[in-house]
Amino acid sequence: MIIGIDMGGTNIDGVLIHDGKLQKSFKHPVDRNDYFQSIWHCLQELLRDTDKDAIERIHLSTTISTNAIVEDQISQVGVVLQTGPGLKWDFERLGHHLAFVSGSVDHRGFVVKSEDPQELNGLRKTFLTSPIEAIAVISKFSTRNPEFEQKVRDLFLHDYEEITMGHTLSGKLNFPRRVQTAYLNAAVSSTFRTFADNMQKALKEENIEAPVFILKADGGTIDLSGATVKPVETILSGPAASFMGMSALLPEIQEDRCLLDIGGTTTDLFFLVDGVPVFEPLGIEIDGRKTLVRAIYSTSVGLGGDSHVRFEEGKLKIGPRRMGSAIGFGGEDLTPTDALVYLGAMQAKYPEKSREALEKLATKQGLDPAELAEGIVKEFCYRIKEVMENTLEMLNASPVYTIKELLSDRAIKPSSVGIIGGPAQALAPHLEETLGMSVEYPDTYEVANAIGAALARPTIEINLLADTDRKILSIPELQIYEEIDRSYDLERAKREALQEVSRAAEAMGLVDASKTEIVEASSYNMVRSFYGADKNIRVKAQIKPGLLTKLTDVKTSEV
């Protein structure tokens, strides 16, 4: 049995899944003053009359880290930056304990200028007299050579419990993002650790031995101890839960597809290429900070079932604000939901109120009420289409770096759309007409996010670089830095990348580590002398997001 819990902004959803069947579900408002208690309460409800020993794993999509950042409930971080020469970012919003220290590393990983031990010792003294709770250390090109970050970690090893080294969080190159990511990781470490400790204590008291996994923004999971070290990985997992939920509830396809999660206030859009989600190119943005946290690409538009419908200067407008519930559900302002109720496509608590409100507006605008209702739905669908097309145009313009990619012109062209949410069924035929592609929707949607969290499996991405001139192989994400000889080649690099990915995935609790794949692999001849060429080898490997098991008892409908 698997337990999946998704803590959103308003509600907490939970499911219990056994043998691919949804056994139990639970939905309750979140207690914003006590997130842990909200989760614990949900867990207890799911476990009622259930054999605790039969629980294999507990999956959580939490807003613990996200809320800590957004609500500014974060630790004071001593940030050590070795920027070296280059672009001068102002590095705002890194707290009050920011230190720039000397030394630099170049793009190959060669030390250009060593750090100054005296300077670092002086810095330690200053930090120790400041109200600092955690340390983040980041140097430019630290993924290529982490020695400086390691030295600073060693310096503070006995002083602070939470020390984040930039290179451990991503192998991608982007110093300003690495700085923000490491800062946030250090800043939420203590909050997340408290949560994890409470969780484990509570589970122990209840004699539950099932391991706990946390959902990441890339649609994968990380085990609780891993998440305690890299809590920044757990931010903004909500859209990923929704994406994974839809993946579990809709039939699997290997084509390009767009997924829509239509909520009350917003609609989230996701895209798949050959069945694989499109990711943020570098990482997700949180609270105006750009990070290197891997995430499924999603875009949100202020257009939902409860969006405010009105006329402005003679033109029909929908959203982006939500004033309250639909009139048919006791609200005060007209919404697309009311239009669907009027058209008989949706049930409501007070259908006559929806009807009255629509007729009133129609009279005011000199329109036929049915015409107005259809107009609202049409406008809603048209706006979705517009956002979808604009997003695709942007995604399809992503830079490529090889002739093969440029000429293959692999544009994302969705052939179908999957939708989920309250108005999904009612909207499906209209969307199909507007978009001109087939639209599918699952019959269940209320606890889709919890299902997504429950069925997500571990994911990992690694960036291997082998430099036979420097004779070093690096995989920053796994903190692997090994010596290699000049005969090291692309084939060995690919093999090693796959091995390390599966090893890491097994360590993270993935049972079937056969889902590894090479994403990119290239080898560059480095000609430095007349004695033949060295090689600069780069391999990116991953386990992409996927489902632990398929749900077997769900139904989907096509229009």
Partner 1 sequence: MRAKNSLGLILFPAFDWAISPTHPEREERLLYTQDQLMEEGIEDIEGIHFFNPLVAATKDINRVHFCYPNAESLVTESHLIAAGGVMRAFDAVLGGETDKSFALVRPPGHHAQRVVYGDRGFCIINIEAVGLEYARQKYRDMRVAIVDTDCHHGDGTEDIYWNDPDTLFISFHQDGRTLYPGTGPVEDLGGPGAYGYNVNIPLPPNTGDEGFQYVLEHTVMPILEEFKPDLIINSAGQDNHYTDPLTNMNFSAQGYAALNSRMNPDIAVLEGGYSIQGALPYVNTGIVLAMAGLDYSGVIEPDYNLGKWKQSNRVTEQVERVANDVYQLWKNKKTLAERLFAGKTSVRRNRHVYYDTAGIMESQVQEFRVCSSCPGVNWIQSKNDRGASLLGVSIPRKACPSCLDEGYRLFEDAKQKNIKKRFLQDLSNDSFLAE
List residues near partner 1 by CB under 8 A: 85-90, 104, 106-108, 110, 112, 140-141, 172-177, 281-282, 290, 397, 399-404, 406-407, 522, 524-527, 533, 536
DSSP state, residue 231: G
Contact call for residues 350 and 328 (beta carbons, < 8 A)? yes
**Closest Cα to residue 1, out of 27, 15, 40, 545?**
15
d(CA 140, CA 109): 10
Helical pair 351-365 and 369-396, crossing angle rounded to 10 deg:
90
- Around 434, how many Cα atoms within 13 Å sit in the side-chain half-sphere? 22
First-to-last C-alpha distance (Å) of the chain? 33
The residue among 35 and 175 lying less far from partner 1, judged by its C-beta, is 175
**Closest Cα to residue 140, out of 82, 87, 88?**
82
The residue among 312 and 407 lying less far from partner 1, judged by its C-beta, is 407
The residue among 411 and 511 lying less far from partner 1, judged by its C-beta, is 411
d(CA 249, CA 267): 18
Shortest Cβ 467–partner 1 spacing (Å): 11
Query: For the purposes of burial, counting CB atoms within 10 Å of the CB of 528, is it exposed (0-12), middle (13-18) or buried (19 or more)?
Result: exposed
The residue among 431 and 475 lying less far from partner 1, judged by its C-beta, is 475
Shortest Cβ 89–partner 1 spacing (Å): 6
Shortest Cβ 412–partner 1 spacing (Å): 15
Asked if the peptide bond before residue 369 counts as cis, ω within 30 degrees of 0, the response is no
Shortest Cβ 100–partner 1 spacing (Å): 12
Shortest Cβ 9–partner 1 spacing (Å): 27
The residue among 178 and 383 lying less far from partner 1, judged by its C-beta, is 178
DSSP state, residue 417: E
The residue among 176 and 421 lying less far from partner 1, judged by its C-beta, is 176
Shortest Cβ 522–partner 1 spacing (Å): 6
The residue among 166 and 319 lying less far from partner 1, judged by its C-beta, is 166
The residue among 53 and 491 lying less far from partner 1, judged by its C-beta, is 491
Q: Which residues pair with 520 in a beta bridge?
A: 540
Contact call for residues 337 and 348 (beta carbons, < 8 A)? yes
The residue among 225 and 522 lying less far from partner 1, judged by its C-beta, is 522
d(CA 335, CA 424): 15
The residue among 157 and 400 lying less far from partner 1, judged by its C-beta, is 400
Token pair in block for residue 300: 């949100």
Shortest Cβ 330–partner 1 spacing (Å): 44
Query: Please, which residues have CB within 8 angstroms of residue 49's CB and are 6 or more apart in sequence?
Result: none
SS3 318: strand
d(CA 210, CA 544): 24
Contact call for residues 82 and 27 (beta carbons, < 8 A)? no
SS3 378: helix
Shortest Cβ 366–partner 1 spacing (Å): 41
> At 72, which amino acid appears?
D
* Residue appearing with tokens 């993935």: 510
The residue among 104 and 228 lying less far from partner 1, judged by its C-beta, is 104
Query: Please, which residues have CB within 8 angstroms of residue 394's CB and are 6 or more apart in sequence?
Result: none
The residue among 111 and 511 lying less far from partner 1, judged by its C-beta, is 111
Shortest Cβ 90–partner 1 spacing (Å): 7
Shortest Cβ 321–partner 1 spacing (Å): 27
d(CA 460, CA 280): 15
Going from the C-alpha of 372 to that of each of 316, 337, 366, 423, the distances in angstroms are 9, 13, 10, 18
